[in-house]
């Protein structure tokens, strides 16, 4: 599969997500399960980034696959100046939404295989549920290499992605620890499991808040990996 075919496939998949009532229902921001998943993820982000001396005020951040800018908005809320926030995404409507959310950020509709930045530009590069959406292994490798090229020495890649196959979504693939290590050879890698099975927690309604900590304590129910890859 060529990169152009894979790019077109990804665009078609996201057009389907946008048009599908079922997919939109899964992403409902008011669902308590989705709220709890986001809270846990952001707590872990804060803990992971606390150990980085450059974060937040002197940190330059690139979000690869930035979508509508939610992660960039979180970085801004932690104290990263808007002028130090950069994002790239394949989808023009996502970039336009991110511009509305963060007018001061620097955003591009672009293919992350060829990031248009000088080498060693960024302290932190985020990739959040990005690589599970790329089925072309060669393309995934080129994106990872491009990310490492623009990352400064002792800078970090912030990772969050699924580690299990999703039978209800054939458009994604699991990204296990060994897959991450193959993408970022030579980096110091720290990964943890996180996120209670989303379809389960979304269906628990008012019970979700009480049950989330209990379910999160069971390792097989944690469906994602979160962590940092530090560049030598």
Token pair listed for 41: 């993820």
- Whether residue 168 has pLDDT greater than 80: yes
pTM, entire model: 0.95
pLDDT tens for 71-117 read 999 999 999 999 999 999 999 999 999 999 999 999 999 999 999 99
In this structure, are residues 123 and 52 in contact, taking their beta carbons and an 8 Å threshold?
yes
Hey, how many other C-beta atoms are within 10 angstroms of the C-beta on 178?
8
In terms of phi and psi (left: phi > 0; alpha: psi -120 to 50; beta: otherwise), the region of 61 is beta
* Mean pLDDT within 44-61: 95
Rounded CA separation 78/28 (Å)? 24
Residue range 3-230, CATH number: 3.40.50.150
Q: Which residues contact 99 (CB under 8 A, 6 or more apart)?
A: 69, 105, 107
Residue 174 reports pLDDT greater than 60: yes
| Domains of the chain by residue range | 3-230
Q: For 27-44, b where at least 16 C-beta lie within 10 A, e where not — what string? A: eeeebbbbebbeebbeeb
Task: Report the candidate in 45, 102, 39, 42 with the shortest Cα–Cα distance to residue 68.
Answer: 102
Sheet with 61-64: strands ordered across: 106-109, 85-89, 61-64, 122-128, 151-162, 222-230, 188-196
pLDDT category at 219 given cuts 50, 70, 90 is very high
């Amino acid at each position: 599969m060529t990169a152009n075919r894979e790019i077109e496939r990804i665009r078609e998949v996201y057009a389907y997500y946008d048009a599908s009532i079922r997919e939109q229902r899964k992403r409902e921001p008011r669902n308590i399960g989705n709220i709890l998943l986001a809270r846990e993820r952001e707590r872990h982000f804060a803990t992971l980034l606390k150990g980085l001396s450059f974060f937040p005020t002197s940190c330059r951040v690139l979000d690869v696959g930035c979508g509508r800018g939610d992660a960039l908005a979180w970085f801004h809320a932690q104290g990263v100046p808007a002028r130090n926030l950069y994002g790239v995404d394949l989808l023009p409507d996502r970039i336009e939404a991110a511009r509305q959310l963060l007018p001061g950020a620097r955003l591009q509709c672009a293919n992350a295989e060829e990031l248009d930045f000088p080498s060693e530009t960024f302290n932190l590069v985020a990739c959040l549920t990005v690589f599970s959406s790329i089925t072309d292994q060669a393309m995934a490798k080129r994106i990872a290499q491009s990310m490492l090229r623009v990352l400064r020495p002792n800078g970090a890649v912030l990772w969050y992605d699924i580690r299990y196959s999703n039978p209800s979504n054939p458009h994604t693939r699991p990204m296990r620890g060994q897959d991450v290590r193959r993408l970022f050879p030579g980096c110091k890698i720290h990964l943890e499991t996180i996120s209670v099975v989303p379809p389960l927690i979304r269906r628990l309604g008012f019970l979700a808040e009480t049950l989330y900590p209990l379910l999160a304590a069971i390792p097989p129910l944690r469906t994602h990996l979160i962590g940092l890859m530090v560049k030598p």
